[in-house]
Structure 1
């Protein structure tokens, strides 16, 4: 066996180990999201998450340094999937009015089906006002959400303004939903379309 073969095998093992670790982190994040949806950021402890994940607290610490790192990982993972879902909702549509309707309908549907997850995003975003550890991930996710506006706006300033208008309407509709006063899907879609202008 030559040195190149040995080096290749070591690199493969290292890559495989990294892949397994990342897969395990994703599994833990899914369990953590369940606990975070129930209790919210402030009331969830690593013990709650470890219990939900059916693993020891020590094992949880092996993958995540603390609750903040785990929450950041969870929200980053969820919001990336959210952006892909919304972008996919307008794929193949060319009419601007239909794009706006499909986009707003997809946003409204996520309020109905994923309110607790959206609540985590607003939780971490608010936390960034008090804790600098959250600022980079909030900036990263907000950039992703601004770019999600591409089907409706092309210029940077227009995308930023559109994101701000959607964010206000979305948060308001989410608040109604989580406080037991949800609006119908059609009404939420109309509110979001009005925010889009």
Structure 2
């Protein structure tokens, strides 16, 4: 008796999964355009061109540019957070935490420098456009959670003002990341030494 509703649900689930896969494919292409041009200089036509889609097809999956960009930032930062969670998972004690955290920060700057520009661009836009504020707040809460985990793994628990510690680390990370865009950029060894010293002070 339940066979037909089950079939309908399975069909709906497949359709949703297919739609989600297409949205992610579009977002991954959009991120390439956004990394190159930045938020202010990237319109839906630019994104459509990078995605090999018509503007109408893009609107079919996303209501407007803000919805697409929010989706892009969520995907990017989910991956960013996952890398740090994985890096800290097997670290125990302050020295191991500093080493693991440092390695993840350095790899992120070296490998994802251009994508970080997009994150800081969107975070700045959130001060002017309230559409971006919820996703920025959620991401920053996840980033604070990473630092809280680092404190816990280091063996002395997170301080009550962990948001200030996060702000200090984030400010240093942004400054160092931005400096990599110009010349001469720091080497991986120089970045490693820099973040180890910084994390030794924070943790």
Q: After TM superposition, is the score higher than 0.5?
A: yes
Q: Does 1:189 pair with 2:187?
A: no
**Residue 37 of structure 1 aligns with which residue?**
35
How far 1:8 sits from its partner (Å)?
A: 1.0
One of 89, 92, 96 as aligned partner of 2:90: 92
> Following superposition of structure 1 onto structure 2, how do residues 155-170 of structure 1 map, counting pairs within 5 Å?
155=158, 157-170=160-173
1:89 positional shift: 1.5
Q: Tell me the alpha carbon deviations over residues 80-127 of structure 1, each in whole angstroms, 9 at most, x when there is no partner.
A: 100111121122221311211210221111111111111111011000
Runs of 4+ in 1 over 4 A off after TM superposition: none
Shift of 1:152: 2.0
Structure 2: 5+ residue stretches without partners: 152-156
- More displaced stretch, 86-95 vs 59-68: 86-95
> Please, what TM-score do these two structures have when normalized by structure 1?
0.93
Query: Which blocks of at least 5 consecutive residues in structure 1 are unaligned?
Result: none
RMSD across aligned positions (CA)? 1.4
Aligned to 2:80: 82
Q: Is the 8 A contact 1:99 1:152 kept in 2?
A: yes
Deviation for aligned residue 1:158: 4.7
Partner of 2:5: 7
TM score, norm. by length of structure 2: 0.90
Q: What CA distance in whole angstroms lies between the structure 2 residues aligned with 1:108 and 1:82?
A: 12
Match of 1:120 in 2: 118
Q: Is the 8 A contact 1:99 1:151 kept in 2?
A: no
Determine the C-alpha separation between the residues in 2 that align with 1:91 and 1:132: 35
- The answer for the alignment partner of 2:145 in structure 1 is 147
Aligned length: 195
2:177 match: secondary structure: helix
